[in-house]
Structure formats: structure tokens, C-alpha cells
A = this chain, B = another copy of it.
Amino acid sequence: MTDSRFFKKFGPFTLAQICNQTKIQIPENADPSTEFDNVCFLDEATSKDISSYHHTKYLSSLQKTKAGICFITPDALKYVPSNTIALVTKNPYRCFGIVATMFYPPTSAADSISPLASIHPSANIGNNCTIHPFAVIEENTVIGDNSIIGPHVVIKAGTILGQKCIIESHVVISHALIGDLVYMKPGARIGQPGFGFHMDVLGHFNIPQLGRVIIGNDVQIGSNTTIDRGSLTDTKIGNGVRIDNLVQIAHNVEVGDNSVLVAQAGIAGSTKLGRFVIVAGQVGISGHLTVGDGVKIAAQSGIMRDVEKGEIIAGSPAIPVRDWHKQTIALQRLIKGK
């Protein structure tokens, strides 16, 4: 049950509306006008709720569910209780997401600029933007239409932000050009100078960090994640990229379209990731490397070499995941043999 203190619910929606939005045919024996009230986890769902089965851990929940509707893959259809309408799809969780978004659409901007924000007269604020108290928007910035700027956000001089962006509390952005539909969670830090200095026997000499951060459209950036600006070239985050909390992205890194970086991963300077790369939690990738399209890197791996397109790797230093499993087994034998 969603808590009405925090979430405003829309609906109800009919089976017909739900099937229309998810592009699934209405099952033959079901009444298209039946109304549903909410989305819910399998365990807690009632006959007015819509649920989905998308992880084998929850098979017993599926078998006991009282949900009115359940999105399901063809192979699991046989486990759906008879009182539940099964809507069969290859992607139950995508369908669930579509319906959840019908009931709980994302917050949209209202034309509301707090008098407690500090906005430079030269800032170009788009139409219908929301700007919360104590935001600081410096000179020569651009905020696209329908964007939301949270409390205490700092948009430093010259930054350009696209349309329909949501920038949550305490985010700081500088030296950056940012696309549309970008969502940043609280405390993300974008565009500060990278860890750039020359070390020799005379000590450390700071190298001015003269690049930018370029972020595409439909990007999400997690809480307290840090993305440094380039040193001479730019740090680039492609379209559709998803970055979790507490991730570190160093100067000049490039992350290709639709790649995913899970919490606490770290990418060292000048490394380039391809498209649809998946970097699991706490992975570390050394600097000046190239990681090909579609590479998958298991949690806590350490990457010290270039990685070919499509490789699946694990371990520190990382090796092909099959070898890593063999290694784990070999190590077990090693200690049992003694």
C-alpha cells in the first residue's frame, strides 16, 4: 500500500486502459471495464490491485497472490492463481512500470519561483519552471522549460540545463552542458575540477582543469555521486545512462549511451565505456582504458586492461566470468586438500 502522505494517486483505470497502455490484448474472458485502483507487491495485493512477477525469488508469492491483474512471462503463466487476470508479456516489469506511472506520474514543474532563491539577473530561466528556496542560479546560465530546481541547488555560471530536468536538493552543477529529461538525486556533484596534479620530487603541482561535463538526454544520476569535469577534453555521459548513488566518475571519462553504473563504482580518468555497458556495484576501473559495447562487469571487480565488446568479467584483477567461477572452485579445492 502506498502512503498517501507521500504519493498522490491517479486512477482508477480499467482493464481496457491498462491493456491499451501496455499493448497487451485483453484476455477473452475478462471484462474490459473492470476498474483497478493501484499497483502492489504480489504478497499484499487485493483483487483491485495490479502486480507483476519478474524475479524467481517471488514464485511462492505469485502462487498465493490475490492480485486482480498480474503481468507475467509465458513460461510462468501456469503459476498464476485462477482469480488473477494474467497479462502475458515478454517484459512484465516494463508493463508494471508503465501502469505504475499511470497511477503515479512523475512530478511535473509548476510555474513557481521561490522568492528565497538567489537568481542572477542574467540567468535565462525557461517557461513553467519550479525553483525552490535557497537555490543559487549564477550568471549566464540557462534552465530549460518545465525544469525543477530543488532547494539549495547550485547552478554555477555558464551552465546550460535542458528541458524537463529534475535537479533534487543540494546538487551542485558547474562547467556543464546538460540535456533534457535529466534527473539528479540529492547531493550529486557535477563539474568540479578533477584530481589533476603533477607529482615529482618538488611536490604536487596543480594542473588547471579546463574541460567540461557533457550530459545527454534521459540520464539519471544518483545521490552523492561525483562527476568531475574534463582536464582538457570533456567528461561525457551519453543518452539514457543510469548512474546510482556514490559513484565516482573522474575527469575525461566517457560513458556510452544506455550504460548502467551501480552504486559505489568508480571510473578513473580518461577511461571510455561503450554503449549498454553494465558496471555492477563497487567495481573499480583504472584510467586510460577502453571498455567495449555491452560489456558486463560483476560487482567488486577491478579492471586493469581494455575489455572487448560483449565480454562478461569478474574478479580483481578481472578475468572472464567463467574463469572466475573456476578459480573460486579451484581455491576451495586448494584449502580442502590441505
- Give the interface of A toward B (CB within 8 A): 2-3, 5-7, 39-41, 44, 55, 57, 90-91, 93-94, 96-98, 100-101, 103-104, 106, 114, 116, 118, 132-134, 136, 140, 150-152, 154, 157-158, 168-170, 172, 174-175, 185-187, 189, 192-193, 195, 197-200, 202-208, 210-212, 218, 220, 222-224, 226, 228, 232-233, 240, 242, 244-246, 248, 250, 258, 260, 262-264, 266, 268, 281-282, 284, 286, 288, 299-300, 302, 304, 316-317, 319, 323, 326-328, 330-332, 334-335, 338
- The residue in chain B whose Cβ has the minimal distance to the Cβ of A152 is B152
Measured between alpha carbons, how far is A268 from B280 in the docked complex, in Å? 10
Residue of B39, B150, B248, B326 near A232 (CB, 8 A) is B39
A169 to chain B, nearest CB (A): 5
Q: In the complex, are the beta carbons of B327 and A205 less than 8 A apart?
A: no
Chain B residues lying within 8 Å of A208, measured Cβ to Cβ, are 97, 100-101, 103-104, 106
Chain B residues lying within 8 Å of A134, measured Cβ to Cβ, are 118, 134, 136, 152
Tell me the number of copies of this protein.
Answer: 3
- Contacts known (A104-B208, A226-B223, A245-B195); A284 close to B268, Cβ less than 8 A: no
Chain B residues lying within 8 Å of A319, measured Cβ to Cβ, are 332
- The residue in chain B whose Cβ has the minimal distance to the Cβ of A3 is B212
Chain B residues lying within 8 Å of A302, measured Cβ to Cβ, are 282, 299-300
